[in-house]
Amino acid sequence: MQAFLKGPGGAPPTKKPVAAQPSASGTSKKDVRQSKKHIPWVEKYRPKTVEDVAYQEEVVAVLQKTLAGSDLPNLLFYGPPGTGKTSTILAAARSLFGPEQFASRVLELNASDERGINVVREKVKKFSQLTASGTRPDGKPCPPYKIVILDEADSMTAPAQAALRRTMEKETKTTRFCLICNYVSRIIEPITSRCAKFRFKPLAETVMADRLNHICKEEGVQIGDTAMQTLMKVSEGDMRKAVMFLQSASRLCGQDDPITDSIIMDITGVVPEDMVDEIIKACHSDSYQTLDETRVNREGYAASQLLGQLHDRVIMMDDLSDKQKSIVAEKMAVVDKCLMDGADEYLQLMALLSTLMQQICHGE
Amino acid sequence: MSLWVDKYRPTSLAKLDYHKEQASHLRKLVQGGDFPHLLVHGPSGAGKKTRVMCVLRELYGSGVEKLRIEHNNFTTPSNKKLEVVSISSNYHIEVNPSDVGIYDRVVIQEMIKNVAQVNQLDSSSQKDFKVVVLTEVDRLSRDAQHALRRTMEKYMATCRLILVCNSTSKVIPAIRSRCLGVRVAAPSQDEITQVLHSICKKEGLNLPGELAKRIAEKSHGNLRRAILMCEACRVQQYPFSADQEVSEPDWEVFLRDTATMIVQEQSPRRLLEVRGRLYELLSHCIPADVIIKGLLQELLSNCDGELKTEVVQSAAHFEHRLQNGQKAIYHLEAFVARFMAIYKRFLEEGIADLF
């Protein structure tokens, strides 16, 4: 047997499948183990079929009807990251065309591909002009169109989007478009009006908990209830984030130790509550010196993260009047914008905190 | 003869001086032979790069230290030729895409695709992925960051990314959610003094505790700076004395003098003089945001509580403009003028109250 495996050329071809069986299973086991290490859980547990997509009932209903035989409109999926937009369309395309035809029938373009106006004019146009047959090679019926998936469409330039307009209309016979983006406002009006829009909502906690528990069971990860709660809280309805965090945490802990609260807090970069407490306390002191000594910036937390957490606190603060809160909130908005523009974190945070201090100590 | 900073840079995770718990976590992470994409963030001089190199070494062995410098050429869609310098070993490649300004997207797309599409030939003896280290990710353009998103997922099998940045605020959420964040906080003063002591011990020097403490204070949590200052002290005077002057960079002294000038007199003439000094600083390649922060620090120590708030607000305001604008000097000068106005008004009100 071993000798046979070493010399593949020597075996008669008829016997090959039989003999190859054990060797295949042997290597595949190894492969599985290896690939298990390398496939991120995000990919591994991506929904395989449309039914698997959690929590997005409307779009699932539409796509299921399509799978049952009715026509597919041009689609526009939008929603926050990690809600299953890409997964949904990929799963749908896979079940529409089957794995063999998937490659020839689906053109997936995302922001990492070059897709200026030239690509839209040439690649997309050419692809969409090809006719597709209504049957699969094995004779089963399949829809007579192809799908162009434009992932992260909000990073396409407006001219490139404009170049799509006519193509979308003209080629409806042979091609459906699916645009995926985070912000629908960045897609130009003529495109949105040509598509059926679906909003993907952030996942509810119960749905997420189900999925995460399922993954934990599959992977043999131990996680406590409080840690699970924290994980859910920090991932804010973003399933990908949650799964990524879970995998990272399990990697950090190793196989045997259960995942704890602190590890999750650590990898997510959430500012610990007692640190926020300290900052708020410093704001009450009415001394710029104390404020400066809180070491906010030295710890390496992101200012935008801190900003979000401070916002939650300020809204709940009892010793501020509504008017004061609104002043602080407005400043927060300004600071956020400045941070996005690339302004210095230290200065912006100090400006915000000093406003907060002023409102707490001297506001009316 | 290399600088102490390089000579005593820890080379393995076990030898790191602080954040030991994190180091042990990283070790566990790497021991499996695999790790997710990493996003290493923290203030400068906290040891981000050191940790990255330690992780790589843990992963691939000493082969990662054989570095070579490569010049990579790229062509943008508009046919502009770009050249990017990368540092690479057999196992990893390190590049700073923000070197090429707005064309960073091209570099990222090409570079990562090149690296990722090549499989390691013999995956049994080597890891079957390479590592791409991207530095200063927070200075990447939006376009480039978007380009990273899908690339990261697509080439997961053959390529891991380690992103290094100062702050995650400027990294888009989509990338943050694809990476394991590793926060490297600045070392505390005690930790810095400890490191200084251990280095001096290895050099066979006697470092007074008092001096180490003063250096640590002046370094503002930047370990690299602390070690450099310590070495400068050694050159200046040895044996060390406890009350030895810790030499600061010239430009800091210059900046402090400038601040004093501003506080002393508020007049258009003084403004003109200050402008000259600011030009001087800028022409010596001191970044404008460092200047504004340095000025603020000094000016604030001369202000009363309520005034401080106002000054900080205006500093933040002008620093933001500075980031958006083209010429730094306008905004620096505007800040100085605003400060003068605030300060003078405050003084005059004070005098009016007296009478």
| Cβ under 8 Å to A: B residues 250-289 | 289
Residue B70 has pLDDT above 70, yes or no: yes
Length in residues, chain A? 364
Residue B27: closest C-alpha in chain A? A252
Which residue of A154, A264, A354 is the best one to mutate when testing the B interface, meaning the one whose CB has the most B CBs within 10 A?
A354
Q: How far is A235 from chain B (nearest CA, A)?
A: 9
Residue A335: closest C-alpha in chain B? B316
Average pLDDT estimate for B276-281: 91
| Cβ under 8 Å to A: B residues 313-332 | 313, 315-317, 319-320, 323-324
Cβ contact (<8 Å) for A251 and B29? yes
Q: A60 burial class (0-12, 13-18, 19+ CB within 10 angstroms)?
A: buried
Q: Which pLDDT band, with edges at 50, 70 and 90, does A10 fall under?
A: very low
pLDDT at B335: 92
Residue B76: closest C-alpha in chain A? A114
Q: Which residues of A touch B149 (CB under 8 A)?
A: 110-112, 152
Average pLDDT estimate for A30-58: 70
Per-residue pLDDT tens over the stretch A253-290: 766 677 888 788 877 778 888 888 888 888 888 777 77
Q: Does A256 touch chain B (CB under 8 A)?
A: no
Name the residue among B22, B177, B182 with its Cβ closest to that of A241.
Answer: B177
Average pLDDT estimate for B248-267: 88
Q: Measured between alpha carbons, how far is residue A6 from residues A11, A12, A20, B186, B305 in Å?
A: 10, 14, 12, 56, 82
Q: Which pLDDT band, with edges at 50, 70 and 90, does B163 fall under?
A: very high
Name the residue among A301, A303, A347 with its Cβ closest to that of B315.
Answer: A347
Residue A312 has pLDDT above 70, yes or no: yes
| Cβ under 8 Å to B: A residues 182-211 | 182
Q: Which pLDDT band, with edges at 50, 70 and 90, does A242 fall under?
A: confident
Cβ contact (<8 Å) for B177 and A347? no
Q: Does A268 touch chain B (CB under 8 A)?
A: yes
Q: Does B151 touch chain A (CB under 8 A)?
A: yes
Q: Does B126 touch chain A (CB under 8 A)?
A: no
Cβ contact (<8 Å) for B167 and A302? yes
CA-to-CA distance for A69 and A143, rounded, in angstroms? Answer: 8
pLDDT at A16: 37
- Is A243 in contact with A45 (CB distance < 8 Å)? yes
Q: Is the dihedral of CA A138, A139, A142, A144 positive or negative?
A: positive
Per-residue pLDDT tens over the stretch A123-155: 888 888 887 777 777 777 777 888 888 888 887
CA-to-CA distance for B334 and B317, rounded, in angstroms? Answer: 10
Strand-pair partners of B163: B39, B134
- Lowest mean pLDDT across A37-41, A155-159, A299-303: A37-41
CA-to-CA distance for B97 and B102, rounded, in angstroms? Answer: 9
pLDDT at B111: 81
| Cβ under 8 Å to A: B residues 179-208 | 179-186
pLDDT at A8: 40
Q: Does A346 touch chain B (CB under 8 A)?
A: yes
Residue A115 has pLDDT above 70, yes or no: no
Which residue of B148, B220, B309 is the best one to mutate when testing the A interface, meaning the one whose CB has the most A CBs within 10 A?
B309
Cβ contact (<8 Å) for A354 and B309? yes
For B197, what's the count of Cα atoms within 13 Å in the CB-facing half-sphere? Answer: 13
User: Residue by residue, what is the 3-state secondary structure of chain B?
Assistant: CCCHHHHCCCCCHHHCCCCHHHHHHHHHHHHCCCCCCEEEECCCCCCHHHHHHHHHHHHHHHHHHCCEEEEEEEECCCCCEEEEEEEECCCEEEECHHHHHHHHHHHHHHHHHHHHHCCCCCCCCCCCCEEEEECCHHHCCHHHHHHHHHHHHHCCCCEEEEEEECCHHHCCHHHHCCCEEEECCCCCHHHHHHHHHHHHHHHCCCCCHHHHHHHHHHCCCCHHHHHHHHHHHHHHCCCCCCCCCCCCCHHHHHHHHHHHHHHHCCCHHHHHHHHHHHHHHHHCCCCHHHHHHHHHHHHHCCCCHHHHHHHHHHHHHHHHHHHHCCCHHHHHHHHHHHHHHHHHHHHHHHHHHHC
Cβ contact (<8 Å) for A288 and B300? yes
Cβ contact (<8 Å) for B186 and A299? yes
Cβ contact (<8 Å) for A269 and B181? yes
pTM value? Answer: 0.74
CA-to-CA distance for B164 and B107, rounded, in angstroms? Answer: 17
pLDDT at B33: 66
Q: Which residues of B touch A38 (CB under 8 A)?
A: 34, 128-129, 156-157
Average pLDDT over chain B, rounded to whole?
84
Residue A88 has pLDDT above 60, yes or no: yes
Q: Does A254 touch chain B (CB under 8 A)?
A: yes
What value of ipTM does the predicted structure carry?
0.80
Average pLDDT estimate for B168-177: 80
Residue A339 has pLDDT above 90, yes or no: no
- Lowest mean pLDDT across A10-14, A146-150, B208-212: A10-14
pLDDT at A332: 93
Residue A333 has pLDDT above 90, yes or no: yes
Residue A27 has pLDDT above 60, yes or no: no
Residue B297 has pLDDT above 90, yes or no: no
- Lowest mean pLDDT across A110-114, A182-186, B53-57: A110-114
Residue B26: closest C-alpha in chain A? A252
For residue B328 the two structure tokens come to: 């730094």
The larger pLDDT score, comparing residue A187 to residue B243, is at A187
Cβ contact (<8 Å) for A341 and B32? no
Residue A34 has pLDDT above 80, yes or no: no
Strand-pair partners of B131: B92, B160
Residue A24 has pLDDT above 50, yes or no: no
Q: Which pLDDT band, with edges at 50, 70 and 90, does A297 fall under?
A: low
Q: Which pLDDT band, with edges at 50, 70 and 90, does B340 fall under?
A: very high
pLDDT at A14: 39
Q: How far is B14 from chain A (nearest CA, A)?
A: 16
Residue A69 has pLDDT above 90, yes or no: no
Q: How far is B8 from chain A (nearest CA, A)?
A: 23
